[in-house]
C-alpha cells in the first residue's frame, strides 16, 4: 500500500480476503456459536416418583418445572433454555447414585438437582464428589450433610431447611409456651430412624436450654410407616405428660392424629408436631384438632406476603393440589440456579459455584423476602421459620411466631463447635 492511499479504502484483494474470511466464519464458526447459544442447559433430577413417598418427587418436580418454565419463557440464558431430565430412584440410595451417574455420563446433564430423601442425598453427594458436577441438595434436612466438613464438597449446595435451624426455633417456641402454661412434664413420640432420633434429641436440647424445668417423662419410638399406633397412644395416656413432641410426618402423622383423636389424646396434652403445618398433612387429617403447635413446613400465609400467597395459589392452580414443604425448597433451588446463571452469564459449573457462594436472592419464602446461600458451608439461611397453632380450615395456621435468625445462627455456631465441625 502506498503512502497516498487511504487506510480504509476497500481494494479488490482486501474485499476478497474479507469476504473469504466472513464466508469461512459463517460456514465454520457461526453455526458453532449459534448451536452453542441454542444448546439447552440440561439439569438432571434424581428423585422418588414411586412408592409411599412419591409425593416428595412429584411436588419437587412440579415446583422446579414451574420456575424453570418462567426462566425459559423469559428467554433463558441468552437463548439457552433449561431442560429438566427427571428420573425415579425408587427411594433407594444405590439407585439414586446410579441414576445420578447416568444423568451426567449419558444424558449430558451439567447440573444435578438432588431431590432425594436423606440417605439418597448422601449417595448423590458422593457422585457429585466423584464427577465434580455442580449439585443442589433440595430436600435433605440432615444437618450433617453440609455442616460436617467430611461431607462438604465445593460443588454441592443445600437449598433445603436444616434440622438444627428448626430445632433451635422450635425449642425456643416450645419453651415460651411451656413457661406461659407451666408445661414441665414432656413426652416424645417420633419415628424410629436417624431423622426421628436426631431431630427429637436436638429439639429437647433446645427446649431444656430455654426452659430448664422441662422434664422428659417418657419416649415412644414407633416404626417408620407403622400402621397402628394404639400401643404408643396407650403408653402416652398412661404417662399423662403435659406436653408431647413429635416429628412424625406425612401419612404417619395423619394416621397417628386420626387414631389419637379416638382416645381424645390431644385434649389431654399440648401437642407439638413440627411437621403438622404442611398442606399434605393438614388437608388429610379427618378431624384436625384445634391448637396443635407446629412449625411451618409450607403454608402460603407465612411469610404473610403477597408474593408467597401468589406463589402458593399459582402452584395450586397449575397442578390442582397444594404445594408441599419439598415444593418451596425445589422452587428455591431453581431460583438460585437461574439467579446464578444470570450473574455468572455462564452455565459452567465452577463459575456457577463461585457466584452461588454468598448469593442472596429475592424469594417469597424468605423471612425478609430474601434467602442467602451462606458461603462457608454452602447452605441456605434466612428462609421462613415459624411456629404457631393450627385450626381445622384455611388458613390452617392463622398466627405464626417467626423464629429469630440472629439467635438461630448464634446457637448453630455453638452447636457446630460442640460437634467439632469448626
The binding site for other proteins (CB under 8 A) comprises 49-50, 54, 87-88, 90, 92-95, 97-99, 101-102, 105-106, 118-119, 122-123, 126, 129-130, 142, 144, 148, 150-151, 193-195, 197
Which one, 113 or 298, has the nearer CB to other proteins? 113
C-alpha span between 100 and 113 (Å, rounded)? 9
Closest approach of Cβ 417 to other proteins, in Å?
Answer: 20
Which one, 293 or 416, has the nearer CB to other proteins? 416
DSSP class of 242: S
Q: How many CA atoms lie within 13 A of 276 on its CB side?
A: 28
Lookup: cell for 300: 402460603
Which one, 85 or 177, has the nearer CB to other proteins? 85
Which one, 108 or 358, has the nearer CB to other proteins? 108
Determine if residue 182 is left, alpha or beta; phi over 0 gives left, psi from -120 to 50 gives alpha, anything else beta.
Answer: left
Lookup: cell for 256: 397417628
54-73 and 306-319 helices cross at what angle (nearest 10)?
A: 110
Which one, 68 or 145, has the nearer CB to other proteins? 145
Which one, 197 or 318, has the nearer CB to other proteins? 197
DSSP class of 9: -
Closest approach of Cβ 108 to other proteins, in Å?
Answer: 11
Closest approach of Cβ 150 to other proteins, in Å?
Answer: 4
One DSSP character per residue, 138-196 reads -S---THHHHSTTT--TTEEE-S--HHHHHHHHHHHHHHHHHHHT--EEEEE--SSHHH
Closest approach of Cβ 222 to other proteins, in Å?
Answer: 14
Which one, 111 or 257, has the nearer CB to other proteins? 111
Closest approach of Cβ 389 to other proteins, in Å?
Answer: 31
Q: How many CA atoms lie within 13 A of 325 on its CB side?
A: 23
Q: For residues 43 and 84, is the Cβ–Cβ distance under 8 A?
A: yes
Q: With 0-12 CB in 10 A as exposed, 13-18 as middle and 19+ as buried, what is 10?
A: exposed
Nearest to 49 by CA among 40, 39, 59, 41: 59
Angle of CA points 285, 290, 292, to nearest 5°: 80
Closest approach of Cβ 140 to other proteins, in Å?
Answer: 9
Closest approach of Cβ 262 to other proteins, in Å?
Answer: 30
Which one, 102 or 258, has the nearer CB to other proteins? 102
Closest approach of Cβ 88 to other proteins, in Å?
Answer: 5
Amino acid at each position: 500500500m502506498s503512502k497516498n492511499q487511504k487506510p480504509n479504502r476497500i481494494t479488490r484483494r482486501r474485499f476478497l480476503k474479507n469476504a473469504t474470511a466472513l464466508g469461512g466464519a459463517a460456514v465454520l464458526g457461526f453455526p458453532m456459536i449459534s448451536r452453542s447459544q441454542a444448546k439447552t442447559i440440561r439439569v438432571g433430577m434424581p428423585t422418588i416418583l414411586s412408592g409411599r413417598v412419591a409425593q416428595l418427587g412429584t411436588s419437587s418436580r412440579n415446583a422446579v418445572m414451574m420456575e424453570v418454565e418462567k426462566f425459559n419463557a423469559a428467554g433463558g440464558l441468552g437463548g439457552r433454555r433449561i431442560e429438566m431430565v427427571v428420573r425415579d430412584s425408587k427411594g433407594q440410595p444405590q439407585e439414586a447414585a446410579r441414576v445420578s451417574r447416568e444423568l451426567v455420563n449419558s444424558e449430558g446433564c451439567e447440573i444435578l438437582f438432588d431431590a432425594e430423601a436423606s440417605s439418597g442425598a448422601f449417595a448423590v453427594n458422593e457422585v457429585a464428589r466423584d464427577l465434580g458436577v455442580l449439585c443442589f441438595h433440595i430436600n435433605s434436612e440432615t444437618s450433617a450433610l453440609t455442616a460436617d466438613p467430611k461431607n462438604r464438597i465445593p460443588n454441592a449446595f443445600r437449598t433445603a431447611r436444616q434440622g438444627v435451624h428448626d430445632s433451635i426455633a422450635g425449642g425456643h417456641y416450645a419453651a415460651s409456651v411451656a413457661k406461659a402454661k407451666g408445661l414441665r412434664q414432656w413426652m416424645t413420640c417420633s419415628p424410629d430412624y436417624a431423622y426421628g432420633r436426631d431431630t427429637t434429641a436436638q429439639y429437647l436440647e433446645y427446649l431444656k436450654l430455654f426452659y430448664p424445668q422441662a422434664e422428659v417423662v417418657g419416649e415412644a419410638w414407633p416404626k417408620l410407616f407403622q400402621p397402628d399406633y394404639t400401643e404408643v397412644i396407650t403408653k402416652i395416656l398412661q404417662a399423662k405428660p403435659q406436653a408431647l413432641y413429635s416429628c412424625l410426618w406425612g401419612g404417619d402423622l395423619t394416621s397417628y392424629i386420626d387414631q389419637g383423636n379416638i382416645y381424645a389424646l390431644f385434649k389431654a396434652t399440648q401437642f407439638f408436631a413440627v411437621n403438622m403445618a404442611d398442606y399434605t398433612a393438614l388437608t388429610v387429617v379427618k378431624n384436625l384438632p384445634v391448637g396443635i403447635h407446629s412449625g411451618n413446613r409450607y403454608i402460603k400465609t407465612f411469610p404473610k406476603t403477597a408474593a408467597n400467597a401468589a406463589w402458593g395459589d399459582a402452584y395450586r392452580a397449575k397442578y390442582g393440589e397444594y404445594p408441599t414443604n419439598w415444593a418451596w425448597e425445589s422452587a428455591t433451588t431453581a431460583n438460585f440456579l437461574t439467579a446464578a446463571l444470570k450473574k455468572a452469564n455462564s452455565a459452567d459449573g465452577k463459575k456457577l459455584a463461585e457466584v452461588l457462594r454468598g448469593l442472596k436472592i429475592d424469594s417469597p419464602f424468605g423471612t425478609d423476602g430474601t434467602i442467602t446461600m451462606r458461603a462457608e458451608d454452602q447452605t441456605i439461611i434466612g428462609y421462613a421459620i415459624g411456629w404457631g397453632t393450627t385450626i381445622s380450615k384455611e388458613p390452617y395456621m392463622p398466627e405464626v411466631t417467626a423464629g429469630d435468625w440472629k439467635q438461630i445462627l448464634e446457637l448453630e455456631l455453638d452447636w457446630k463447635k460442640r460437634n467439632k465441625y469448626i
